[in-house]
Amino acid sequence: MLSDKSLSSNINIEDLLEQFSSSSNRKRRGLINSLEERSQDIACLGVSPLIPYDPEGDDWAAGFILQLLKRQDSEILLQIVPSDSGGWFNSPSSSGIDYAPLQNALISEDFEQADRLTSSYLRKLAGQQAEARGYVYFSEVADISNIDLVTMDRLWKAYSQGRFGFSVQARLLKTLGGRYDRLWPRIGWKVDGVWTRYPKSFTWSINAPEGHMPLVNQLRGVRLMDALLTHPGLSSRLRDERP
């Protein structure tokens, strides 16, 4: 009997990529190992593996392919996504923020740096007082731009196999009946009743619990987190998620 690796190597790479782009999230995750084994073949195809995807969206399949290319050959990735392009996914801002550093950190799978950048963007979006004090008050969240909050959420989802992002945390909260006491352990912010210590005790990898990132300082209470997760900019993000 052929091993899974042998089966993967016998499938035409274009057919494998077509399966990946057209499948449900559950089936896509079952193809991840096969795609990782064929990353060199994918790198040889240039930009074509990204053709099915929309840079205006947040399809994590495109983000995963970009991460594979980054691991396999950074030079090839630079031909597809030049360093001055701002990133493959479009990342608009109504506040003049450049989200290229966030996209670069996520494509490099440097989730801790991406989290720090997200916190700094939130402070900037909340205003000069938030920047000066070093954190955001819940009352300042309403003034954060819809466009910018959605941009950050899109990038987090696109580069995390759909596992991280504000809308992911909001969806999990909804499934838990809106109970934050159940959300904290679900996303790994509390273990055995003890708050996870920042930053060393957080899991800065794709293997973290779903919704683990980005971090919002839970020590400031539920109100800041609730203000973010109920922000109008995220409401449309919770509809029509790919199964």
Sequence-distant (≥ 6) Cβ neighbours of residue 67 within 8 angstroms: 107, 109, 159
How far apart CA 172 and CA 180 sit, in angstroms, is 10
Sequence-distant (≥ 6) Cβ neighbours of residue 148 within 8 angstroms: 93, 94, 95, 97, 121, 125
pLDDT tens digits, one per residue of 63-113: 999 999 999 988 889 999 998 889 999 999 999 999 999 999 999 999 999
Task: Write out the two tokens for 124.
Answer: 């900037």
- Predicted pLDDT at 218: 56
Domain boundaries, the chain: 4-80, 100-238
Task: Find out whether 98 and 84 touch, Cβ atoms under 8 Å.
Answer: no
Q: Which of 51, 55, 56 is nearest to 22 (CA)?
A: 51
How far apart CA 161 and CA 154 sit, in angstroms, is 11
For domain 100-238, give the fold.
Answer: Arc Repressor Mutant, subunit A (1.10.10)
- Predicted pLDDT at 240: 57
Q: How far is CA 174 from the centre of its chain?
A: 19
pLDDT tens digits, one per residue of 134-145: 999 999 999 999
- Predicted pLDDT at 74: 85
- Predicted pLDDT at 2: 41
- Predicted pLDDT at 66: 97
pTM of the model: 0.94
State which residues of the chain have pLDDT below 70: 1-9, 218-220, 240-243
How far apart CA 38 and CA 34 sit, in angstroms, is 6
